[in-house]
């Protein structure tokens, strides 16, 4: 996740220069493992028929159904064989350059704490359930694994181009909250959705949000909400296409074009959008 909040200036005590810390698996309490198991059981029941094939395959090949919080070393061994990725623990949100450096080198940074039992449904800071259950299965997919590495390298370049706002939105609307059109229908693959009991239903079933065909420039102009369900979901046709667009686009001139255009407010539909579902926005209105 790329957020400005809670990012520290220097690695905290006990962290390496690259901000990683030992996962310290032995320190999880039985309560911590029980929280993971509760969350896991609830999502595992809900996701077949909702999550993308790639996500469900990842959950399976990484053997994430083994009870308790996964051991990052064990998980990294499996991932390394499949796609060359590893999972490393960090103490919280890390600075953008650190985040991109890890990603460009196929290291996924994951929070090592788990939410409290009274926070099962809502947590703003990414914990081990969000990061591992939400993100890691997709890293077992070779195409998505390439996409994330390309994203990390793109992030390193964007740092020097004053363009993080735009690239952050691409992450948000794909890695965190993406939908994909599969032959059987729309499926979720974004980690923020697959790790949320309520949003894994809302994103697919609720009439409120817009569901719009993915367009790179459009996505990068679009604002988003971090504190509630999304009002827009962007739908990719395939992971191959997402990767292709990302590696074939020359981002530097695109950023310059985007800087000359206004940002698009959440929920707004543009005349050029290919709208798959025009949302009622009832959910957002009821909350306003």
Binding site for Fe ion (CB under 5 A): 1, 126, 191
Residue whose CB is nearest to Fe ion in the complex, by number: 1
CA dist 238 and 243 (Å) reads 9
CB of 113 to Fe ion, least distance (A): 14
CA dist 141 and 40 (Å) reads 20
CB of 98 to Fe ion, least distance (A): 15
Q: Given the DSSP bridges, would you call strands 179-182 and 107-111 parallel, antiparallel or unpaired?
A: unpaired
Helix count (H) and strand count (E) of the chain? 14, 7
Residue 174: closest CA among 230, 122, 219: 219
CB of 280 to Fe ion, least distance (A): 27
- Does residue 158 contact residue 147 with C-beta atoms inside 8 Å? no
CA dist 226 and 124 (Å) reads 8
HSE-up of residue 79 (Cα within 13 Å, Cβ side)? 27
CB of 155 to Fe ion, least distance (A): 14
Mapped onto helix, strand or coil, the DSSP state of residue 254 is helix
**Smaller CB distance to Fe ion: residue 11 or 126?**
126
**Smaller CB distance to Fe ion: residue 123 or 254?**
123
**Smaller CB distance to Fe ion: residue 106 or 255?**
106
CB of 121 to Fe ion, least distance (A): 16
**Smaller CB distance to Fe ion: residue 70 or 279?**
70
Radius of gyration of the chain (CA): 18
**Smaller CB distance to Fe ion: residue 126 or 154?**
126
CB of 129 to Fe ion, least distance (A): 11
**Smaller CB distance to Fe ion: residue 1 or 132?**
1
């Amino acid at each position: 996740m790329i957020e400005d909040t809670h990012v520290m200036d220097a690695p905290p005590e006990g962290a390496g220069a690259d901000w990683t810390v030992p996962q310290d698996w032995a320190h999880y309490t039985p309560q911590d493992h029980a929280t993971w198991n509760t969350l896991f059981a609830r999502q595992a029941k809900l996701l077949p028929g909702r999550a993308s094939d790639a996500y469900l395959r990842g959950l399976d090949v990484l053997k994430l159904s083994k009870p308790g919080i996964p051991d990052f070393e064990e998980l990294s061994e499996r991932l390394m064989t499949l796609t060359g990725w590893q999972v490393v623990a960090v103490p919280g949100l890390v600075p953008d350059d650190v985040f991109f450096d890890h990603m460009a080198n196929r290291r996924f940074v994951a929070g090592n704490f788990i939410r409290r039992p009274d926070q099962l449904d809502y947590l703003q800071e990414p914990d081990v359930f969000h990061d591992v259950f939400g993100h890691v299965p997709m890293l077992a997919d070779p195409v998505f694994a390439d996409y994330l590495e390309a994203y990390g390298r793109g992030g390193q370049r964007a740092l020097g181009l004053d363009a993080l706002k735009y690239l952050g939105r691409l992450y948000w609307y794909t890695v965190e909250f993406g939908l994909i059109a599969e032959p059987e229908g729309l499926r979720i693959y974004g980690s923020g959705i697959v790790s949320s009991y309520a949003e894994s239903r809302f994103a697919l079933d609720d009439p409120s949000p817009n569901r719009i065909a993915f367009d790179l420039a459009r996505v990068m102009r679009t604002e988003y909400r971090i504190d509630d369900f999304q009002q827009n979901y962007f739908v990719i046709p395939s992971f191959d296409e997402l990767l292709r667009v990302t590696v074939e686009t020359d981002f530097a001139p695109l950023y310059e074009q985007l800087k000359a255009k206004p940002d698009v407010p959440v929920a707004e539909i543009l005349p050029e959008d290919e709208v798959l579902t025009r949302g009622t926005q009832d959910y957002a209105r009821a909350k306003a």
